[in-house]
Amino acid sequence: MQVNGRVVENPDHWVSFEHDRILFDGRPLKAKARRYILLYKPAGYITTYKDPDGRPTVYDLIQEIDTFVSPVGRLDLETSGLLLLTNDTNFAERLTNPDHKVQKTYLVKCADLLTDEALEQLRKGVELSDGMTRAAEVRRVRDSGKYSHIEIRITEGRNRQVRRMVEAVGSKVLKLVRTAIGPVEIGELKIGTWRDLAAEEVAVLSGARGRANASPTKSGSRGRARVRPSR
């Protein structure tokens, strides 16, 4: 993609259809209907449009979508779970700006049995190389053998934040799955498939329940729309 004559490969780069000249595959890109996609990203896929090392990208999973959408935030290579993609920059900014404190929920398999003290540390915030983390919601799902499985909800989006938080309390992440953003959950969607967000989901994520302007569109794999009640 080219923006004002400059090649842009960063999917998080914001553009203005009113002020920027945008070319995609050499053709002018015009504003299209807003699209909101929920993808169940598998591990082993990256969230950039192309990869010089030839690794699979999330765009390989949404080839039938007829408009360009960008990931709302990122999931690292080995993290799976809920990934939103959209062409609505205002929607994306609301979800990624930490000032809005939108919760992201993760299930974590830890390399050790975490003590109650370690969980309390995570709840209160831990010191990372880029500063203290905000308070988080953390609960023990179960302990199995020598591993703890925990659920953690954060309102920030720092690079590899959950992995670094677990390392800060003396363990490591063996498996990481994002299960929800705000009240919207993966539900019954199968890994590697996607669906359009329902109008209600767009509205609640936009902070404007009841006045979202998403139009019903055909999706690759519907699953069941699930909006978790507010806590």
Nearest to 150 by CA among 126, 122, 185, 180: 122
What are the respective helix, strand and coil percentages of the chain, to the nearest 5?
15, 30, 55
Active-site annotation holds for 76:
yes
Q: pLDDT tens digit string along 10-62? A: 766 777 766 777 887 777 766 668 999 999 999 999 999 888 999 999 999 99
In this structure, are 113 and 91 located in the same domain? no
Nearest to 43 by CA among 53, 56, 62, 60: 56
Q: Say what angle helices 161-168 and 116-124 make with each other, to 10 degrees.
A: 130
Domain of 196, CATH number, reads: 3.30.70.580
In this structure, are 90 and 132 located in the same domain? no
Residue 199 structural domain: 33-98+186-206
Last residue of a domain, one of 164, 181, 198: 181
Query: Does residue 199 lie in a domain region?
Result: yes
More confident residue, 156 or 214: 156
What is the number of structural domains in the chain?
Answer: 2
At 28 the pLDDT is 73
Question: 160 near 153, Cβ under 8 Å?
Answer: no
Sequence-separated (6 or more) residues with CB below 8 Å from residue 122: 136, 138, 152, 165, 166, 169
Mean pLDDT check: name the lowest of 4-13, 157-166, 182-191: 4-13
**Amino acid present at 223:** G
Residues found in the chain: 231
pTM (2 d.p.) = 0.78
At 3 the pLDDT is 84
Which one is catalytic: 12, 20, 53, 76?
Answer: 76
**Cα 225 from Cα 231, distance rounded (Å):** 18
Query: Does residue 83 lie in a domain region?
Result: yes
Own/partner pairs, 64-71, CB within 8 angstroms, 24+ separation: 64/220, 65/35, 65/37, 67/32, 67/33, 67/35, 68/1, 68/24, 68/29, 69/35, 69/37, 70/11, 70/12, 71/11, 71/12, 71/47
Query: Does residue 14 lie in a domain region?
Result: no
Q: pLDDT tens digit string along 170-193? A: 999 999 999 999 999 999 999 999
In this structure, are 160 and 127 located in the same domain? yes
Residues above pLDDT 70, as percent of the chain: 86
How many of the other CB atoms lie within 10 Å of CB of 112?
15
Q: Which two tokens stand for residue 17?
A: 């259809």
